[in-house]
Amino acid sequence: MENNAAPERLGRYEIIRELGKGAMGVVYEGRDPSLGRRVAIKTARRDIIERSGLAKEMMERFLREARAAGMLNHPNIITIYDVGEEEGVAYIAMEFLEGKDLNTIITEQRKFDVETVANYGALICEALACAHDQGVFHRDVKPANIFIPSQGVLKVVDFGIARTHDSTLTQDGALIGTPTYMSPEQFMGQKVDARSDLFSVGIILYEMLTGEKPFTGEALTTIMHHILKSNPAPPHELNYLVPEALSAAVMRALSKRPQERYSNGRAMAAALR
């Protein structure tokens, strides 16, 4: 198979078209002929990974996404159907979604009505609670990993850096995540749990309610300083339409100390309802 050419098949899946490219490979629209089902197929090319010098770790990270998400069964988590490798290409076949990710919608819309924010937040928290119950922490909760289908329900996607309790691939001290949506403990390279993901949810909800990220900066060190030390103004002070109760729920999620946040996703979802 030519490195730059789209394969006609991967495993039992027919390749229809390219949807996008990532650092490790390409995402395709595909079809499972045995079920007549459209699928999205995320690939990782071994030759690209080997050139990075991190072949073993990156391939294991790619396959870990399939294992982590594949063990989860929730209407608001993308469904993984299959994983395999063929001719140097590892692939994950998953539910095909049409619509937009939340990052795109935020860019277009900036602010959202209070009911939408509360509903999206509760759905995200309930999906994460399902993952947390299985010992899986997402570690990169951000708008780009929240998908809003044109038909159907919100989905949390891309568990590519998720860590399970028994994972040994991600060592303490490694900076993993997207800086403006990371928790203080992630920046400090400390152990993370469910409350770290909920901090990230708080950042998303703050941005949706106010049109502003709570922690920003030109440099990584500036963002880190704000996340570790700064306290943003409560959302209701920036948007008078935000009820104080919802504002308080978001600010609790943004507490610097994990023990001051909601203990689990279901508790936060209940506060947002």
Q: What is the pLDDT of residues 234-268, one digit of tens each?
A: 999 999 999 999 999 999 999 999 999 999 999 99
Alpha carbon 215 to its chain centroid, in Å, reads: 18
| CB 56, CB 25: distance < 8 Å | no
Residue 121 has pLDDT above 80, yes or no: yes
Rounded to whole angstroms, how far apart are CA atoms 140 and 27?
19
User: What's the pLDDT band for 92 if we cut at 50, 70, 90?
Assistant: confident
User: What's the pLDDT band for 71 if we cut at 50, 70, 90?
Assistant: confident
User: What's the pLDDT band for 153 if we cut at 50, 70, 90?
Assistant: very high
pLDDT single digits (tens) 31-61: 999 999 999 998 876 655 555 555 566 667 6
Rounded to whole angstroms, how far apart are CA atoms 144 and 108?
13
Give domain limits for the chain. 9-95, 99-272
Fold for the domain defined by 9-95: Phosphorylase Kinase; domain 1 (3.30.200)
Whether residue 140 lies in the annotated active site: yes
pLDDT single digits (tens) 93-107: 999 999 999 999 999
Residue 160, token pair as written in the block: 């590519």
The confidence score (pLDDT) of residue 85 equals 81
The confidence score (pLDDT) of residue 39 equals 95
pLDDT single digits (tens) 3-31: 566 678 888 999 999 988 766 678 899 99
The confidence score (pLDDT) of residue 26 equals 86
Three-class SS of residue 242?
Answer: coil
The confidence score (pLDDT) of residue 172 equals 42
Q: Which CATH architecture has domain 99-272?
A: Orthogonal Bundle (1.10)
Rounded to whole angstroms, how far apart are CA atoms 133 and 166?
14
Residue 209 has pLDDT above 50, yes or no: yes
The confidence score (pLDDT) of residue 183 equals 95
The confidence score (pLDDT) of residue 173 equals 43
What is the pLDDT averaged over residues 207-218?
Answer: 93
Decide: residue 169, CB within 10 A, 0-12 exposed, 13-18 middle, 19+ buried.
middle
pLDDT single digits (tens) 155-191: 999 875 555 444 434 444 445 558 899 999 998 888 8
| CB 90, CB 44: distance < 8 Å | yes
Residue 176, token pair as written in the block: 């993993």
- Among 47, 142, 157, smallest CA distance to 92 is for 157
Instruction: Give the mean pLDDT of the chain.
Output: 86
Q: How many CB atoms lie within 10 A of CB 52?
A: 11
Task: List the catalytic residue out of 101, 140, 158, 197.
Answer: 140
The confidence score (pLDDT) of residue 126 equals 98
